[in-house]
Structure 1
Amino acid sequence: MRIETCYFCSRPAYPSKGITFVRNDARVFRFCRSKCHKNFKMKRNPRKLKWTKAFRKAAGKEMTVDSTLQLAARRNVPVRYDRDLVAKTLKAMERISEIRTRRERVFYKKRMAGKRARELAIARKLVAENEHLLPRLRGSEKRRLEEIAAERGVAAEELDAETVEGVLKAGGKRNAKAFGGEVRRKRLLADGGEEEIVERVGGVVGDGDEDDDDMDDMDMD
């Protein structure tokens, strides 16, 4: 049983699966699914699509030079059937698969080394640029965060968002301050009484029946 390779994404195309496209010049293209076939007909470049192996190899996300990859190359050389040769081949395929898996794991670890430090650097840069948008911490909250960081053996800036949010919730709700203060004024009601209204920047602070009173005044007018 021969397992073909998808022309577009390089995934395995098993027998009786996928799509086979034969061009007018008798060239055969094998696709593992309709997604690859449609992208091929739209004349898209596999190296520019992130879900193809061609893109991953060009971006350095997969091994490109390795001795185990050479054994997967197709060799159209007829060989006389030999039972011992078949047994050795199957045993070698299993061993090569193990070696390739181990090398891919090592390659991934080397490629991802330092990712955490890079992410922290980007996050710190973002916080430094938008520091004016962050809420100000109280002195007690700062001390609590420093204590937690000392217990974990890390810097206070490296604590995760969940820990900081928990400390802020434990400190209680913050009273929102209205910039510009407040304005008090009196309003005459329809029955001849007076009502005092306190206005803030965020809106009008008073009883819940103010909207009804406004509607009554409009009706009287």
Structure 2
Amino acid sequence: MRLEKCYVCSSTVYPGHGTMFVRNDAKTFRFCRSKCRKLFSMKKNPRHLRWTKAFRAAAGKELVVDATFEFERRRNVVAKYDREVMASSLRALTKVSEVKVLRQADFHRRRMRAKEVTDRKDGLRDLTQSIQLVEPVLVRERADAKARVAAAVRVEEPQARMAVDE
């Protein structure tokens, strides 16, 4: 069973699904849905469509260059069956998938560092611009805290007197 990739969005096209366009020079293009086929017919570049994998790769939002992708490309080649090679390949595939997940997580973490800094700056700017909305809440919380302390002191006073009387 061969799983193809959509020419526009790079998603998986399973057997019996999607459509295929064959050009006069016998080059074939597979599409996962009519949206992709129509965009191809309109000669749209997938790198300019923000929802495609090509755009994410070109914009640096996805991990593009990694050795684990080479293993996926090699898997599509049909090889003569050998039990030992098959067993070692299956072990290697699990290890490669673990490495791939860790590398993608690390890539995402590095990409999001800049976002954390900008989010902090935006939050501080918003806080300074609209501090009048926050101050009444802080004043109310302080008043509540003072009332709680005063109530606790009032509750403790009779007990202290009783201890002195005894």
TM-score, normalising length: structure 1: 0.55
Is structure 2 residue 139 aligned with structure 1 residue 144? yes
| CA distance 1:118–1:76, change in 2 (3 Å) | closer
> Do structure 1's residue 22 and structure 2's residue 22 form an aligned pair?
yes
1:164 alignment counterpart: none
Q: Which residue of 1 aligns with 2:151?
A: none
Please tell me the root mean square deviation across aligned C-alpha atoms, in Å: 2.9
> Does residue 65 of structure 1 match 2:60?
no
Shift in alpha-carbon separation, 1:146–1:110, aligned structure 2, 3 A: farther
2:8 corresponds to? 8
Write out per-residue CA displacement over residues 2-32 of structure 1, whole angstroms, 9 at most, x where no aligned residue: 2111111111111111111111211111112
Matches within 5 A, 1:5-154: 5-73=5-73, 79-122=79-122, 124-125=124-125, 136=132, 141=136, 143-144=138-139
Secondary structure at 1:73 match in 2: helix
1:192-211 paired onto structure 2 within 5 Å: none
Q: List 4+ stretches of structure 1 deviating above 4 A.
A: 74-78, 123-128, 134-139
Number of residue pairs aligned between Structure 1 and Structure 2: 142
* Structure 1 unaligned regions, length at least 5: 148-221
Q: Distance in 2 between matches of 1:7 and 1:105?
A: 27
Compared CA separation, residues 24 and 138, structure 1 to 2 (3 A): closer
Work out the CA distance in 1 between the residues paired with 2:115 and 2:127.
Answer: 18
Unaligned regions of 5+ residues in structure 2, if any? Answer: 143-166
Report how far residue 87 of structure 1 moved: 3.0
The one-letter amino acid of 1:35's match is K
SS in structure 2 at match of 1:20: strand
Counterpart mapping for 1:150-169 below 5 A? none
Change (3 A) 1:78 1:109: closer
**Structure 2 vs 1, CA of residues 119 and 12 (structure 1 numbering), >3 Å: closer, same or farther?**
same
- 1:92 CA drift (Å): 2.2
**Partner SS state of residue 21, structure 2:** strand
For residues 66 and 11 of structure 2, what CA distance do their matches in structure 1 show? 19
Deviation at 1:56, TM superposition (A): 0.4
Cα separation, partners in 2 of 1:77 and 1:114, compared to 1, 3 Å: closer
Q: Which has the higher strand share?
A: 1
Identity percentage of aligned residues: 46
| Higher mean C-alpha displacement, 2-11 vs 116-125 | 116-125
Q: TM-score, normalised by structure 2?
A: 0.70
CA distance in 2, matches of 1:17, 1:137: 55
Give the whole-Å Cα distance in 2 for the aligned partners of 1:82 and 1:125: 64
Q: In 2 relative to 1, CA 17–145 (structure 1 residues): closer, same or farther, beyond 3 Å? A: farther
